[in-house]
Amino acid sequence: MDVIRRNTDYALRAMLHLAGRRPRESVSTRELANEEDISYQLASKLMQRLHKAGLVQSCMGPKGGFSLARPPSKVSLLQIIEAIQGPISLNMCLLDVDSCPRQPGCPVSRKLAELQEYINAYLCRFTLAELLQKDNGNKKRARITNSGRNKT
C-alpha cells in the first residue's frame, strides 16, 4: 500500500518546479510535463486539481500557463497531497467513526489516531520553500562534486 500515490508524487514534483521559478512566472502544462517527465494528459489533470484547490493560478494567452497561487513558504506538503488524493488515512476507522463498532474504546484506533496526527502535523510543517532549499543544496553539492571529478 502506498501512502503517497504516484500521481501525488508527480504533483509534488510539478509544484516544486513552479516554486523554483520567479514569482508569478507562468509555465505551460506542456513544458512542465516535459521537464518533469509526466505525461501531458496527467499533468493537465494534476494542474486542474491543484488549481481547484487554490494552490496554483492559471493565466491564459501565448505566455500563459500555471504559477503558484501563494509563496512557496505558504504551501505545505499536506495541502498538495490532499488536493490530489484526499486525506491520508492510516485506517478507515480514522476517516469514518461509524465504520467500526469497536472504534470508541479500541486501543489500536487510539494509537493509530496519534500516529495520524503526527503524520499530518509533519506534512503540514514541511513547505515547498524548505524542499526547494534542500534541493538547491543538493544541486550545489553535485556541481562541486562533479567539478572536482572533472579536474582529476
* CATH code (residue 124): 1.10.10.10
Q: How far apart are CA 144 and CA 36, in angstroms?
A: 24
Q: Does some domain include residue 138?
A: yes
What is the pTM (predicted TM-score) of this model? 0.80
Q: Does some domain include residue 90?
A: yes
Q: Does some domain include residue 117?
A: yes
* Residue pair 94/109 in contact by the 8 Å Cβ criterion: yes
Please give the C-alpha separations between residue 140 and each of 29, 64, 118, 134, 137, in angstroms, as whole numbers.
Answer: 27, 30, 32, 10, 5
Per-residue pLDDT of 102-121, as tens digits, reads 777 788 888 888 898 999 99
Per the structure, how many domains does the chain have? 1
Q: Does some domain include residue 1?
A: no
Q: Does some domain include residue 109?
A: yes
Per-residue pLDDT of 7-44, as tens digits, reads 999 999 999 999 999 888 899 999 999 999 999 999 99
Q: Does some domain include residue 31?
A: yes
All three cell numbers of 115, joined, read: 500516529
Q: In terms of C-beta distances under 8 Å and separation of at least 24 residues, what long-range contacts does 136-140 make, across chains too? A: none
Q: Does some domain include residue 87?
A: yes
E strand spans, the chain: 56-59, 65-68
Q: Does some domain include residue 57?
A: yes
Per-residue pLDDT of 37-51, as tens digits, reads 999 999 999 999 999
Q: How far apart are CA 116 and CA 138, in angstroms?
A: 30
Per-residue pLDDT band for 64 (boundaries 50, 70, 90) equals confident
Residue-number span of the structural domain to which 45 is assigned: 6-151
